[in-house]
Amino acid sequence: MKKGIYLKETGVILSTLPYGDSGSIVKVFTAESGLMSYFAKNGPSAKGKLSPFEPFTLGEISYEEGNGSLALLREFKVSNYHLPIRESLERIEAAALMADALDKTQGPGLEAPDLFTLFCLYLKWLPQAKNPFTLAASFYLKTMKHEGVLHITPDCTGCGNPLGECLLCEGTALCTDCALEGTALEPEETQLVLLLTLAREFKDIKQEEISPRLLQALRLFFENTTQ
């Protein structure tokens, strides 16, 4: 690519790390190029204003390929800071869990437009959710489904009987007669996991609550299934 010719993409910033005396490594999730890292020079920030490189900020990236492994981020035009997320520590933590799910499953050049759209929608919906961690859990499950490593239905994968108490194991849900080990769920937890995985509209999950125990269980299930 000729020097001075910039490429443009829309993306959401996941994290920013200091680099050297006056630079940052900015990790961005994009629809067309997947999870990308850019080098950005730190410009002066106006007093009292957010940096354009704050996590969860949506915008248009202008960049050019560098001589090294990192592209050079030349400009970032902010479209949405998602300010309501920043008004609550719980919302910030839930958004960070979703960003972590992307960090663990996506990579450079892995085009994922559907997952990008889902992430943007969940960031938009997060402040409206009764429990933001419920939305984070749903994003974990839908990310696994997107990656093709989660295959659950209302029926046991083994015997086909309707699920009540069950165990999540290797990306499937099995009844207690078919599974010897896995992430154990009570009947009401099973129904919630199915809802969070299969729901197509926000109104179906916005009032749902998730317990800290189930959230932690799903995080471990996610890590074991996607590693």
7-82, CATH topology level: OB fold (Dihydrolipoamide Acetyltransferase, E2P) (2.40.50)
84-226, CATH topology level: de novo design (two linked rop proteins) (1.20.1440)
Closest CA to 10 of 66, 79, 74, 69: 79
* Cβ 25 vs Cβ 93: under 8 Å: no
Q: Which pair of structure tokens corresponds to residue 190?
A: 């099973």
CA atoms within 13 A on the CB side of 104: 18
pLDDT at 95: 98
Closest CA to 104 of 74, 144, 150, 156: 144
Residue whose structure tokens are 């009570």:
186
Which pTM does this prediction carry? 0.91
Q: Which pair of structure tokens corresponds to residue 155?
A: 């029926």
Domain with CATH 2.40.50.140 in the chain: 7-82
* Cβ 55 vs Cβ 16: under 8 Å: yes
> What is the Cα–Cα distance from 167 to 170, expressed in whole angstroms?
10
Full pLDDT tens readout for the chain, 227 residues: 445 567 899 999 999 998 887 788 999 999 999 999 999 887 555 444 567 789 999 999 999 886 667 888 988 999 999 999 999 999 999 999 999 999 999 999 899 999 999 999 999 999 999 999 999 999 999 999 999 999 999 999 999 999 999 999 999 999 999 998 999 999 999 999 999 999 999 999 999 999 999 999 999 999 999 98
Domain with CATH 1.20.1440.120 in the chain: 84-226
Give the single-character DSSP code of 82: -
Give the single-character DSSP code of 204: G
> What is the Cα–Cα distance from 130 to 135, expressed in whole angstroms?
9
